A and B are shown apart, each in its own frame.
Chain A
Amino acid sequence: MPKELTVEEDKLRELNTEYLEKYGFHDPEDFYSIKSEKGLSEEVVRWISAIKEEPEWMTDIRVKAYHEFLKKPMPTWGADLSGIDFDQIRYFVRASEKQSTDWNDVPEDIKNTFDKLGIPEAERKFLSGVGAQYESEVVYHKIREDLEQKGVLFLDMDSGLREYPELVKEYFGTVIPYTDNKFAALNTAVWSGGSFIYVPPGVHIEMPLQAYFRINTENMGQFERTLIIVDEGAFVHYVEGCTAPVYSTASLHSAVVEIIVKEGGRGRYTTIQNWSNNIYNLVTKRAVAYKDATMEWVDANLGSKVTMKYPAVYLMEPGAHGEVLSIAFAGDGQHQDAGGKIVHVARDTTSKIVSKSISKGEGRASYRGLLKVYPEASGVRSNVVCDALLLDSASRSDTYPYIEIEEDDVTVGHEASVSKVGEEQLFYLMSRGLSESEANAMIVNGFIEPLAKELPIEFSVELRRLIEIQLEGSVG
């Protein structure tokens, strides 16, 4: 029996119906030529590795990670994860057997989907390359010629492993080892898809590299694995965005993203996440930045049932700079447990965490952040700002700022604020003709504006639109 839909779910369903009509999502099930049975075992892990014809060392890592996953208890310090049933998840689904490098080779119904998503046009306009993850594996991948000429590698992770096994072996799991946490272990055991990017020394990719992700099979987990290496003095901006159709039962998205930024390099990773309201979104993202390097995470979380995500930067050598800009919107029944983590390993490193969270109805947004300064990491400067906005009296916001400083010569600022959308603000805007929900949306969009303007323009517009949809007709 389908449960009663909340207003938000209705909205989301409407939105998705629109997608269904416009974009023809929901392709025939039998299209997925290979998929694993539900549930996880060492056999399933080995089978996934075998199907992909992976080198032995990868199979070994997967198996070890699987046992680590079994050993590690469920984390209980954050959001409620008791709704996850690991036996009900399908750990591998392959959308198409063959990798495509040419748009013409992409299977027709997938192509229709992406055509409607505007990928080819978008590509012409501003993308340097497209990695489109359809189900568990990337089906379409194209690197623009100028990128290829510069020696940039932009592949899906499976192809990266096949074509550049030495490079992958050198870095895979070095930033986030499978022993890091239960979900990193799970991802390492069953990963599929994700992006592999290498930017050679001194190469600046001006246009953002973009990937489109979505989940399309009920009860199917997505375990993509991304590895980005920004070599000395290089620059890359990677952008991922997610839309997902509505499902009736819970699903799990558990990705791992590892980034290495070498001396003088700069990496920026932007996410806009809008999973449907039944998905557990448990993602481990971490970067290491070396001498004079900069790493920036821009992370916007709107959807999902539960999100736990704390993008991290380890500042390994002097002059390194790390930033985490996080936006979280928790609607009814949602728990966004988001934030950031900065570890100052070396002296003279700087960092900034800015978090803006919004809770609506019975939504709950938590900021969870860690700022750590190692002993003898002198001259460190860091600033943490976390602002929360509550839309209703039932809304909830929590702040868990962990600060561990083991050095005296540091400058650390920390500001936190919680505000409620005030009666006076609403009255002022309504006295000019805006409805209550329009006024609310305007206040919320103003609240996130300092971070929203860091997003690529089309993401910024999409984010505003999503927030308006979340607030339409739901107030009062």
Chain B
Amino acid sequence: MGATLEIRNLHVSIDETPILRGVDLTINQGETHALMGPNGSGKSTLAYAMLGHPAYSVDEGEVLFDGVDVLELEPDERSRLGLFLAFQYPVSVPGVTVANFLRSAINSRRKQENAEDPGISIPEFRRLMKERMDFLDIDHSFAGRYLNAGFSGGEKKRNEILQLAVLQPRFAILDETDSGLDIDALRIVADGVNKLKGPELGVLVITHYKRMLDYLNPEYVHLMMDGRIVESGGAALAEEIEDYGYQPFFEKHGLEVTEE
């Protein structure tokens, strides 16, 4: 039995402005879910709130990771439990190499298991990095570069996928990983995610565009509007959105058109 990530009636606000107004969503390990929706509907808020960004306050609801309420945990504890967020705008940390960063992240996991763990040895870590970079067709020079500093948009997103590949979480949220990418870069990133998909990984893909979903073939598609998931379905829902836009859905659910 794989793990389950269960979001129940989640209400989240930023600076006292309610953004999420009762989100319910259940993802099982091994499944791929897509979350679509217009700008400002709360998709990224869901992603940040899931990882515990301090600016997002949870007013109501639960997020259960195999029964554990992750809302009680710090972001680093959620990460070590097996949650991962591929950022829409990854932050740069000058002077810190990708390798150094990932090695510390791995060691934080090992220390969690066993406080006495001396950490991954350098040869073992090198092998792991090399193997993961080869797997994703990423140039080895990546490991020695400063984290996201001077990275192109595409490189930043590939770097997120590399981190996903090295840290091997049980659930990954990809927050508009396709945004700002040209068609080639998108394919490279999507190929990477496809390679990592499997029975051990549950994925929530947040996107505006069906293009990303054509690569990833999610089993479930959800539509978020005004801080709630208003419809859930399969690939047909994504196609309907692609063909007609969000307009009909606003009308259907009696909502004011926010954007687009």
Chain A residues close to B by CB (< 8 Å): 422-425, 427-436, 438-439, 442-443, 445-450
Contacts and interface: CB of A to CB of B under 8 A. Distances in A.
Contact of A425 (B55, B91, B104): B91
Nearest to A446: B95
Nearest to B81: A433
A427 B55 CA distance: 10
Given A429-B101, A432-B163, A436-B76, A443 B93 contact: yes
A429 B93 contact: yes
A428 B167 CA distance: 14
Contacts, number: 79
B95 A432 contact: no
B102 to A, nearest CB: 8
Nearest to B146: A446
Nearest to B54: A423
Contacts of B76: 430-436, 439
Contact of A428 (B54, B55, B91, B104): B91
B105 interface: yes
Given A427-B54, A442-B101, A433 B91 contact: no
Contacts of A432: 76, 79, 101-102, 105, 108, 163, 167
10 contacts: A425-B91, A428-B90, A428-B91, A431-B85, A432-B167, A433-B79, A434-B76, A435-B74, A443-B93, A446-B147
Query: Which among A429, A438, A442 has the highest number of chain B CB atoms within 10 Å?
Result: A429
Nearest to B167: A432
A428 B159 CA distance: 13
Given A423-B54, A427-B75, A449 B96 contact: yes
The 4 A-B residue pairs with the shortest CB-CB distance, nearest first, are A446-B95, A449-B95, A446-B96, A433-B79
Given A432-B101, A432-B163, A443 B96 contact: yes
Contacts of A443: 93, 96
B234 interface: no
A436 B73 CA distance: 13
Contacts of A430: 74-76, 79
B146 A423 contact: no
Interface of B: 51, 53-55, 74-76, 78-80, 84-85, 87, 90-91, 93-96, 100-102, 104-105, 108-109, 112, 146-147, 163, 167
A425 B51 CA distance: 14
Contacts of B101: 429, 432, 442
B55 A431 contact: no
A448 B163 contact: no
B171 to A, nearest CB: 13
Contacts of A439: 76
B80 A424 contact: no
B79 A428 contact: no
A446 B94 contact: yes
Contacts of B102: 432
Q: Of A435, A436, A443, which is in contact with the most chain B CB atoms at under 10 Å from its CB?
A: A435
A443 B148 CA distance: 13
Contact of A434 (B53, B55, B105): B105
A432 B55 CA distance: 18
A450 B54 CA distance: 31
A387 to B, nearest CB: 10
Contacts of A431: 51, 75-76, 78-79, 84-85, 87
Nearest to A451: B95
Given A422-B91, A432-B108, 13 more contacts: A428-B90, A428-B93, A430-B74, A431-B75, A431-B76, A432-B76, A432-B167, A433-B109, A434-B105, A436-B74, A439-B76, A443-B93, A450-B95
B170 to A, nearest CB: 13
B83 to A, nearest CB: 8
Most buried by A among B51, B95, B100, B104: B95
Listed residue (A424, A425, A433) with the most chain B CB atoms within 10 angstroms of its CB: A433
Contacts of B78: 431
A449 B147 CA distance: 13
Contacts of B90: 428
A447 B93 CA distance: 8
Contacts of B91: 422, 424-425, 427-428
B149 to A, nearest CB: 9
B95 A435 contact: no
Contacts of A448: 95
A442 B54 contact: no
Nearest to B109: A433
A427 B54 CA distance: 8
B74 A445 contact: no
Nearest to A432: B105
Contacts of B87: 428, 431
B50 to A, nearest CB: 10
Given A432-B79, A433-B105, A442-B101, A447 B167 contact: no
A114 B90 CA distance: 47
Nearest to A425: B91
A76 to B, nearest CB: 36
Contacts of A428: 87, 90-91, 93
Contacts of B100: 442
A433 B167 contact: yes
